[in-house]
Structure 1
Amino acid sequence: MNPEDFVRGHTTIARPALVPEIALHLATEITPIWQATETWLAERNIEPPFWAFAWPGGLATARLLLDEPGRVAGKRVLDFAAGCGIAAIAAAMAGAASVEAAEIDPLALAAVRANAALNGVTIATPDGDIVGAPCRWDVILAGDVCYEAPMTAHILPWLRAMAAAGAEVLLADPGRAYLPREGLEPVVTHIIATTLELEDRAQREVTINRLLP
């Protein structure tokens, strides 16, 4: 079974309430998909299958782009740490000239490809860690990326460098602990319904910020 077939075989097609324009291959519970992933990869203690869920940051970003397509229309867009790819799909639907989705999890890249095909859009999925690459984008979308100290320390200097190089970096955060306290310019806030299986509350307030150099 190839990765895209694994994604399709262990998820159902759903349309998130906040972004019904987009259909996604999503899991309904985290434990079964996590166990299936471990079995399929013949590995234990792997990262949770973040790609199988539409997280608050991605949902809020997708809603923003579909409501305000001018933010990405005709531009080169990167969806960084793309997860299921909902923000990348929204960018493509909003008329971006090109869209890339970056992930270090091969199954996440497979999920992005499967979800892009489901919605009839084209998204490039480069392999490997893109952090450190020179800027080739006009807009960089980063949803829900400041949830761990090592992750934030790895990516934030690069994202600020991308902003300094001229990209608009939109950082969507639902109140994660390691969000930087300065160098942010708020753009919009959404209240996102969540599940208690994944979060510690029934809804989260997501603020999309422009990251300053």
Structure 2
Amino acid sequence: MNAEGFITAQTTIGVAPLVPEIRLHLASEITPIWHASEEFLAQTGIEPPFWAFAWPGGQALARSILDAPERVRGRRVLDFAAGCGIAAIAAAQAGAAQVEAAEIDPMAVAAIRLNAVLNGVSVTALDRDVVGDPPRWDVILAGDVCYEAPMTAHILPWLRAMAAAGVEVWLADPGRAYLPREGLEPLSRHAVPTSLELEDRTLREVTIARLLPS
């Protein structure tokens, strides 16, 4: 079974609580897809199925974009560490001139492509680590990326360099431990319903902030 076949077999088409405008291939329960992914993982070396859920940061970014589409309309947008691609799809729906979604997990890349087709929008999925790329976007969307120290240390200097080059970098964070405490300009706040299967509470307060240059 290929990635697309696995995704369609293990998910149902649904919507995230905060963004009913966007349809996604989502896991209805965490345990069955996790077990199925572990079996598939043994065969293919894929990562756990983080792509099968609309995480709070991505939902908040998508909601913010759909509520104020002029912020991305006509602009070049990157959804960084895109997961299921919900923020990228919102940017495409809002009229962005070009939308790319970057992921290092090939299953997530496949999910992004399927979800973009499901919503009738054009999103280019990048199957690689874009950290280190030169600035070629107007806006970078980064949802829920500061959840581990190594990840934050890897991405934050590059994101700050993007900001220094004039790119708008939006961090959407639901209170993760490694979010930088300085150099952030708050833009909006969102209450995102979530599940106790994924989080330690049923509602996450997500702050979207613009990352400032060092």
Q: Taking structure 2 as the reference length, what is the TM-score of the superposition?
A: 0.96
Alignment partners' CA distance in 2, 1:45 and 1:179: 29
- What is the deviation of 1:112? 0.3
- Cα distance in 2 for residues equivalent to 1:46 and 1:102: 16
Deviates more, 1:75-84 or 1:121-130: 121-130
Deviation at 1:47, TM superposition (A): 3.7
Cα RMSD (Å):
1.3
Partner of 2:37: 37
| Partner Cα distance (1:203, 1:45) in 2 | 33
User: Which residue identity lines up with residue 134 of structure 2 in the other structure?
Assistant: P
Return the alpha-carbon distance in structure 2 between the equivalents of residues 10 and 99 of structure 1: 27
| CA–CA distance in structure 1, aligned partners of residues 179 and 206 of structure 2 | 12
Query: Quick check: 1:122 aligned with 2:122?
Result: yes
Which residue of 1 is the match for residue 192 of structure 2? Answer: 192
Shift of 1:125: 1.0
Structure 1, unmatched stretches of 5+, are: none
Question: CA separation in 1, counterparts of 2:119 and 2:46?
Answer: 29
**Cα distance, 1:31 vs structure 2:** 2.1
CA contact (8 A) 1:76 1:137 kept: yes
Residues of 2 paired with 1:44 and 1:84: CA distance? 19
CA distance, structure 2, for counterparts of residue 44 and residue 94 of structure 1:
36
Look up the match of 2:5.
5
Contact 1:4 1:113 in 2 (8 A): no
CA distance in 2, matches of 1:45, 1:125: 20
For residues 128 and 17 of structure 2, what CA distance do their matches in structure 1 show? 32
The CA distance in 2 between the partners of 1:122 and 1:45, in whole Å, is 28
Identity over the aligned pairs, expressed in percent? 74
Aligned length: 213
Which residue in 2 is equivalent to 1:75? 75
Shift in Å, 1:38: 2.3
Q: Which runs of 5+ in 2 are unaligned?
A: none
Corresponding position of 2:202: 202
Instruction: Give the structure 1 partner of residue 93 of structure 2.
Output: 93
Residue 168 of structure 1 corresponds to: 168
Instruction: Give a deviation string over 1:90-145, Cα, whole Å, max 9, x none.
Output: 00000000100000000000000010000000111122111111111000000000
